């Protein structure tokens, strides 16, 4: 039997190792990028509201299921109707360790204030869901339908009844103005820092109604403190599990069913700073998809009656572009545009 010289055996082993390593790298792709320090998850709104609750749930799910090596911390930067948070991320160009959850103030804040920011300064990552809006009143009040309440507002006279909402010249006030134009009712609009505060104020009867998101008022509804009158959408919410003894989200009529032809859906989406790489974006796209598959997320979606539309890539960017144009029209009609817009 012919003996292979030592130097040839060494060469053969090296060649075999290189072939195996190459094959393994093809079959088992590693993450091209992952965070190397704590990820700052910015909420451009106050604590307790829908965006804050969603961000903190994502943080909790990532930690519980060990979905990434580094930690994630939620930071509220709601000053200037969210401008504080948006400008922070805009000024962090190329930094992949910051993400921001957005709501309609992505569009409304620059239009209303003239702050030098556009969603195009950021990098779209993923739409997590679309949020509904519900007309709420205190459960001790006699109103059983949106029609009953609107008639009471009109009977009380202009600027007698108080509508609470998050921020000024943002989605809650836009809906309120649309409601006024559709019905002829006139409200005193009272702005608060977050949806959680709005719900608390309504329970305390400091305001007469609100247009909170479902997740922002579900606890007070379940406790019997608030009553939903209608949802601002053209179809009822699909969730049929009872929230109270006798009502589910699906039992809430649309505002159109009550003769109020007003509808509005709000983005719950994730962006990064501009100037990040495709690999960095992909990490968060994949991370958030893992979050969406957890039982905790699925329960949150149902409890909060979310529209579970989820988009990424060009589809997401195209949706945001259309939403930007829609909000320009809404803000213009409401007289909320800043000078020069």
Is 224 within the bounds of a domain? yes
* pLDDT(176) > 70: yes
Closest to 308 in 3D by CA, of 282, 327, 289: 289
When divided into structural domains, the chain yields a total of: 2
Do 172 and 320 sit in the same domain of this protein? no
Lowest mean per-residue pLDDT among 63-67, 129-133, 302-306, 318-322:
302-306
Pairing of strands 98-102, 209-210: unpaired
Domain-embedded: residue 32: no
Residue with tokens 């039997």: 1
What range does the domain containing 146 cover? 134-258
CATH at residue 233: 3.40.190.10
Q: What is the mean pLDDT of residues 316-329?
A: 94
Residues 6+ apart with CB under 8 A from 72: 38, 39, 41, 58, 59, 62, 63
Same domain? For 194 and 209 the reply is yes
With contact defined as beta carbons under 8 Å apart, do 82 and 193 qualify?
Answer: no
* Residue 30 is assigned to a structural domain of this protein: no
Q: For the chain, what percent of residues have pLDDT higher than 70? A: 91
Let me know if residue 1 belongs to a domain.
Answer: no
For residue 31, what pLDDT band results from cuts at 50, 70 and 90? low
Same domain? 125 vs 164: no
Give the residue carrying structure tokens 């939903």.
228
Question: Span 24-42, mean pLDDT?
Answer: 74
| Residues 249, 117: Cα–Cα separation, whole Å | 36
pLDDT of residue 3: 52
Is the residue at 341 inside a domain? no
pLDDT in tens, 109-149: 999 999 999 999 999 999 999 999 999 999 999 999 999 99
Helix and strand numbers, DSSP H then E, in the chain:
11, 10
Whether the per-residue pLDDT at 16 is higher than 90: the answer is no
Let me know if residue 142 belongs to a domain: yes
Same domain, 293 and 246: no
Residue 279 included in any domain: yes
Q: Which residues contact 181 (CB under 8 A, 6 or more apart)?
A: 333
123 and 150 in a single domain? The answer is no
Pairing assessment for the beta strands 72-76 and 39-43 based on DSSP bridges:
parallel
Whether the pLDDT of residue 89 is over 80: the answer is yes
Give the tokens for residue 243: 């929230």
Which of 230, 258, 286 marks a domain boundary? 258
Between CA 296 and CA 60 the distance in angstroms is 10
Task: Specify if 121 maps to a domain.
Answer: yes
- With a CB cutoff of 8 Å and minimum separation 6, the contacts of 341 are 111, 114, 328, 331
Rounded Cα gap, residues 99 and 154, in angstroms: 44
Residue 23 confidence (pLDDT) = 41
Helix (H, G, I), strand (E, B) or coil at 340: coil
Tens digit of pLDDT for each residue in 186-221? 999 999 988 889 999 999 999 999 999 898 899 999
Q: Do residues 63 and 116 share a domain?
A: yes
**Percentage of the chain lying above the pLDDT 90 cut:** 74
| Whether pLDDT at 5 is above 90 | no
Domain final position from 211, 228, 258 = 258
pLDDT band at 29 (very low <50, low <70, confident <90, very high): very low
Same domain, 175 and 60: no
Same domain, 171 and 97: no
């Amino acid at each position: 039997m012919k003996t292979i010289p030592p130097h040839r055996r060494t060469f053969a082993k090296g060649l075999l190792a290189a072939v195996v390593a190459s094959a393994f790298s093809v079959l088992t792709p590693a993450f091209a990028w992952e965070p190397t320090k704590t990820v700052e998850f910015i909420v451009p709104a106050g604590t307790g509201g829908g965006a804050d609750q969603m961000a903190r749930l994502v943080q909790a799910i990532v930690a519980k299921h060990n979905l990434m090596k580094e930690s994630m911390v939620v930071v509220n930067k709601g000053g200037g109707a969210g401008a504080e948070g948006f400008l922070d991320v805009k000024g962090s160009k190329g930094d992949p360790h910051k993400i921001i959850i957005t709501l309609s103030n992505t569009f409304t804040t620059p239009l209303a204030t003239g702050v030098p920011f556009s969603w195009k300064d950021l990098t779209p990552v993923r739409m997590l869901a679309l949020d509904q809006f519900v007309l709420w009143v205190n459960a001790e009040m006699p109103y059983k339908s949106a029609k009953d309440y609107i008639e009471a507002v009109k009977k009380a006279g202009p600027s007698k009844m108080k509508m609470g909402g998050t921020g000024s010249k943002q989605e809650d006030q836009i809906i309120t103005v649309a409601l006024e134009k559709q019905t002829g009712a006139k409200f005193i609009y009272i702005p608060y820092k977050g949806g959680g505060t709005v719900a608390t104020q309504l329970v305390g009867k400091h305001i007469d109604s609100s247009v909170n998101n479902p997740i922002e008022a579900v606890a007070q509804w379940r406790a019997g403190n608030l009553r939903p009158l209608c949802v601002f959408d053209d179809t009822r919410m699909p969730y049929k599990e009872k929230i109270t003894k006798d009502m589910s989200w699906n039992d809430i009529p649309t505002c159109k069913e009550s003769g109020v032809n007003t509808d509005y859906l709000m983005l719950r989406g994730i962006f990064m700073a501009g100037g990040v790489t495709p690999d960095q974006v992909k990490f968060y796209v994949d991370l958030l998809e893992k979050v969406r598959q957890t039982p905790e997320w699925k329960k949150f979606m149902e409890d909060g009656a979310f529209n579970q539309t989820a988009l990424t890539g060009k589809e997401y960017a195209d949706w945001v572009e259309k939403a930007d144009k829609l909000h320009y029209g809404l803000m213009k009609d409401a007289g909320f545009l800043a000078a020069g817009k």
